[in-house]
Chain A
Amino acid sequence: MSTAPAQPIPLPTDWRDFLSLTKPRVMSLVIFTGLCGLLAAPVPVDPILGFTAILCIALGAGGSAALNQWWEADLDAKMKRTASRPLPAGRMERSSARDFGVVLSVLSVLIMGLASGWLAAALLAFSIFYYAVIYTVWLKPRTPQNIVIGGGAGAFPPMIGWIAATGEITLMPVLLFAIIFFWTPPHFWALALFVETDYAAAGIPMMPVVAGHKSTRRQILVYAVLLLPIALAPFLLGLAGWFYGGSALLLGAMFLLLSLKVATFRNAQNDADMRAERRLFAFSVLYLFALFAALVADRFIAG
Chain B
Amino acid sequence: MDQTPPDPQAERKRIIKGRNIALASLLFALVVLFFFITIAKRMG
By a beta-carbon cutoff of 8 Å, the part of chain A in contact with chain B is: 8-9, 11-15, 18, 46, 48-49, 52, 55, 111, 114-115
Assess whether A114 is in contact with B8, with CB atoms less than 8 Å apart. Answer: no
A111 touching B33 by the CB < 8 A rule? yes
CB nearest to B37 among chain A residues: A115
> Across the interface, do A48 and B16 meet the contact criterion of CB distance under 8 Å?
no
Contacts of A49 in B (CB 8 A): 37, 40-41, 44
CA–CA, A8 and B9, complex, Å: 11
A-B CB pair tally, cutoff 8 Å: 39
Expressed in whole angstroms, the Cα–Cα distance for A141 and B23 within the complex equals: 35
B1 within 8 A of A: no
Tell me the smallest distance from the CB of A103 to a CB of chain B, in Å: 11
The answer to whether B31 has its CB under 8 Å from any CB of chain A is: no
Q: Are the CB atoms of B37 and A52 closer together than 8 Å?
A: yes
Measured CB to CB, the closest approach of chain A to B9, in angstroms, equals 10
A15 near B44 with CB under 8 A, answer no
CB contact list, B1-44 vs A, under 8 A: 8, 11-12, 15-16, 18-19, 22-23, 33, 36-37, 39-41, 44
Cβ 8 A contact of B33, one of A9, A11, A52: A52
Contact B37 A48 (CB under 8 A): yes
Tell me whether B15 and A12 are in contact (CB under 8 A). Answer: yes
Please indicate the chain B residues that have their CB under 8 angstroms from the CB of A11 in the complex. Answer: 8, 11-12, 15
* Contact A14/B15 with A46-B44, A49-B44 known, Cβ cut-off 8 Å: yes
Given the interface pairs A11-B11, A46-B40, the reply to whether A55 lies near B33 with Cβ below 8 Å is yes
A-B contacts besides A13-B19, A15-B19, 16 pairs, CB < 8 Å: A9-B8, A11-B11, A11-B12, A11-B15, A12-B12, A14-B15, A14-B18, A15-B23, A46-B44, A48-B36, A48-B37, A48-B40, A111-B33, A111-B37, A115-B40, A115-B41
Chain A: interface secondary structure? helix
Q: How far is the CA of A111 from the CA of B37 in the complex (A)?
A: 9
Known contacts A49-B37, A52-B33: does B16 contact A12 (CB below 8 Å)? yes
Nearest A residue to B20 by beta-carbon distance? A15
Bound Cα distance A52, B35 (Å): 12
The CA of A46 and the CA of B23, in the complex, are separated in Å by: 28
Q: Which residue of A lies closest to B11 (CB)?
A: A11
CB atoms of B40 and A12 under 8 A apart: no
Q: Among B11, B19, B23, B39, which residue has the most Cβ atoms of chain A within 10 A?
A: B19
- Choose among B22, B23, B40 the residue with the greatest number of A CB atoms under 10 Å from its CB: B40
Q: Which residues of A contact B41 (CB under 8 A)?
A: 49, 115
20 CB < 8 A contacts A-B = A9-B8, A11-B8, A12-B16, A12-B19, A13-B19, A14-B18, A15-B19, A15-B22, A15-B23, A46-B44, A48-B36, A49-B37, A49-B40, A49-B41, A52-B33, A52-B37, A55-B33, A111-B37, A114-B37, A115-B37
Residues of B within 8 A of A111 (CB): 33, 37
Chain B residues near A46 (CB-CB < 8 A): 40, 44
